[in-house]
Structure 1
């Protein structure tokens, strides 16, 4: 696709379409002035759907294995297919929303989430559950990337950083509530109840989107050109050095999180004898640390350079990685190394991931959907690649996890340096 003119910054995509071809933010002449509270709440609720779809039913794995007459290995495939669906949904959903606008694709994704969650709830076999989980991940990733694009449509600069941190910080309660809610549901009902809850959540979000969420991408700013444009937009975004560098930092931050997820159960339960309840409490405390750091990042936006916040997070991650490596290599990972190491590791990601993502999105203001799609695709693909490597030591050793963390910190530091180079 070719363009003959480039609109001035104040005329670009700036806010909800009023119906006359102009956006509210454009009429104010300030794209970064305000993101409505209703939009932030809606985007946060949309962002929570995907993690809840995983975290709520993980505690029920033993019951699902027994109920469906399958094996733990086969059931693990329902997670793998879900992450594959998440990655593909974000890769496709963002660019298509750049062409069609935000509301229609978002409503379609939520409708698909209702159908997929219903399929999970009534699945008679593990094969049916695996297929439904793939579609559920596809719909969740599709909705998540469009929700993020809505914020990018409305804000830039410190307001974009602050808004995305607020969304991620509040949505970060999902990894804390998910397992606890799933366990509570198991006490009073079967494992299928968590999927029925997702059916209801998605249906409510359809109503919310219709009533609260405006169309933030005016027709005049939508792209055209079909698949060729998707290819060209992706290539254009990836050629933007600041975007690509921050993409690496954000994706490896997700890799650190899943290195922890893959190894922490072995370290804390198998090596140190914590009970499942004690492990859940530690897991929740680390998730609270991540959420708190993300909210602090939101408060620092516009006051402290965002790149500096990311650098501090990388330094903390490196220190935690060194502590974990020492504990794993020389002391068989005792609690005095594991507990503070994991807490600092997870808390630091609240300073890195959302900020790096906001910096990446800010680097490609003319292709927000494509940028968000690539961020989501690479992020979840990295998680899927890192987790099995980091957990390779199993209950025997945590050295692979610690080495993976340190390697990802070094690569992230190099990428951050590249992003800040003139």
Structure 2
């Protein structure tokens, strides 16, 4: 990767990490939030779902806007909204206000997820784009290591509200990063009018593209397994295994390590074997480990090392799937990359919110319902991977 692309990837990764930090940093605080606001674990889990719902829907605004106004202006707006949401969360007097504040955060956080994908498509395609996406994944993947530990540290010296004040500070830094380190990558002459007619035409094109839809759906349910884990793991690990906030943070980081490490091999394997083949094979591996772990749990084997080891291996396969699928889905849609990124992101986030909401009533403080929901996500992802159109063979000339 050229130095220019590497610099852009690192900048985009830091911006894209704002959303994951907003999730990961407050995970260790979820039991403390339930106690502090005198509410139930289910109500605190709703703050996760409200974030994902708003995050998903808002992408349909920021993506087309980025195609019309350039890439930087929507990022400024999104970060400003995210800052307001962080202040609402930090001062929330009730669970209802916290749910609302998280939704506002989700509205703003969508910008720094969808627009960087479009920037990648502006700068590169194919192998180079996959390498950029993998580099961004490295930066984002620091979040599961540092954010929960930072959140646990803040709880130890202050209270859960300090987490949201810290997120507000991170947002201010991100605004400066956008101003001074991110170049505008969409020339004026390549911008697309932002109106309903163009948006409708673009959505029609994308939804009729079977490859785009299957890649988006399998990525969506792959991400949904993360959302289920995020919404439930802090309660499961503290109640079923008695982990402290710091110990939970370390366990959470280990589960993410497999994804981070594997994502760095995605570009090389895609170049050697073909992106679609990598996606199909890796999705099968993800499903095999997720379903196998669930069956082991049903048999009564739920020791923490077994659970963590199984999730590590499942997430390693998922790390090969996500960056490759995200790049491949946009490859053929450069003129509407912002809209394509928005639609894909919205579908993925709504899939995540749906699975988290469906799984919530079955949570009973043990690990088995969580593993069952993750296995269901993996099976759905595998099913969509089998529906990706295969490349047509090139006719042999006589």
Give the TM-score taking structure 2 as reference length.
0.88
**Aligned-pair CA distance for 1:245:** 2.0
- 1:83-113: CA deviation from partner (whole Å, max 9, x where unpaired): 1111012121101111111111111111222
Aligned length: 389
The aligned residue for residue 385 of structure 2 is 413
1:388/1:367 CA distance change after superposition, 3 Å? same
Corresponding residue SS for 2:387 = helix
1:412/1:34 CA distance change after superposition, 3 Å? farther
Equivalent of residue 400 in structure 1, options 372, 382, 385: 372
1:81/1:69 CA distance change after superposition, 3 Å? same
Answer yes or no: is 1:126 the counterpart of 2:92: no
**Aligned-pair CA distance for 1:356:** 0.6
CA contact (8 A) 2:76 2:178 kept: yes
Q: Which has the higher Rg, Structure 1 or Structure 2?
A: 1
The aligned residue for residue 45 of structure 2 is 76
1:227/1:333 CA distance change after superposition, 3 Å? same
Please list, as runs of the form range in 1=range in 2, the aligned pairs for 1:106-117 lying within 5 A after superposition.
Answer: 106-117=75-86
- 1:109-142: CA deviation from partner (whole Å, max 9, x where unpaired): 1122222212222233333322222111100012
Corresponding residue SS for 1:173 = helix
The aligned residue for residue 89 of structure 1 is 58
CA contact (8 A) 1:117 1:132 kept: yes
The aligned residue for residue 74 of structure 2 is 105
1:397/1:368 CA distance change after superposition, 3 Å? same
CA contact (8 A) 2:85 2:105 kept: yes
The aligned residue for residue 396 of structure 2 is none
Equivalent of residue 136 in structure 1, options 101, 105, 110: 105
The aligned residue for residue 3 of structure 1 is none
1:267/1:415 CA distance change after superposition, 3 Å? farther
**Aligned-pair CA distance for 1:393:** 5.5
The aligned residue for residue 275 of structure 1 is 243
Corresponding residue SS for 1:242 = helix
Corresponding residue SS for 1:363 = coil
**Aligned-pair CA distance for 1:258:** 3.2
**Aligned-pair CA distance for 1:362:** 0.8
Q: Take 2:126 and 2:373, find their aligned partners in 1: how far apart are those partners?
A: 35
The aligned residue for residue 15 of structure 2 is 46
**Aligned-pair CA distance for 1:315:** 2.7
1:247/1:420 CA distance change after superposition, 3 Å? farther
CA contact (8 A) 2:224 2:355 kept: yes
CA contact (8 A) 1:35 1:163 kept: no
- 1:54-102: CA deviation from partner (whole Å, max 9, x where unpaired): 2212222233334334443333332221111110121211011111111
CA RMSD of aligned residues (A): 2.6
1:280/1:117 CA distance change after superposition, 3 Å? closer
The aligned residue for residue 128 of structure 2 is 159
**Aligned-pair CA distance for 1:404:** 0.9
Q: Take 1:385 and 1:124, find their aligned partners in 2: how far apart are those partners?
A: 27
The aligned residue for residue 384 of structure 1 is 353
Corresponding residue SS for 1:386 = helix
Answer yes or no: is 1:349 the counterpart of 2:315: no
More displaced stretch, 70-79 vs 287-296: 70-79
Answer yes or no: is 1:324 the counterpart of 2:293: yes
Give the TM-score taking structure 1 as reference length.
0.84
Q: Take 2:38 and 2:248, find their aligned partners in 1: how far apart are those partners?
A: 27
Please list, as runs of the form range in 1=range in 2, the aligned pairs for 1:239-254 lying within 5 A after superposition.
Answer: 239-254=208-223
**Aligned-pair CA distance for 1:270:** 5.7
**Aligned-pair CA distance for 1:326:** 3.0
Corresponding residue SS for 1:229 = helix
- 1:262-298: CA deviation from partner (whole Å, max 9, x where unpaired): 5656776666x45345544332111011111112224
1:203/1:404 CA distance change after superposition, 3 Å? same
Equivalent of residue 137 in structure 2, options 168, 193, 215: 168
Q: Take 1:118 and 1:312, find their aligned partners in 2: how far apart are those partners?
A: 44
The aligned residue for residue 278 of structure 2 is 309
User: What are structure 2's unaligned runs of at least 5 residues?
Assistant: 394-398
User: What are structure 1's unaligned runs of at least 5 residues?
Assistant: 1-31
- 1:174-219: CA deviation from partner (whole Å, max 9, x where unpaired): 1222211100111122222221222121112212211121111111
Answer yes or no: is 1:215 the counterpart of 2:184: yes
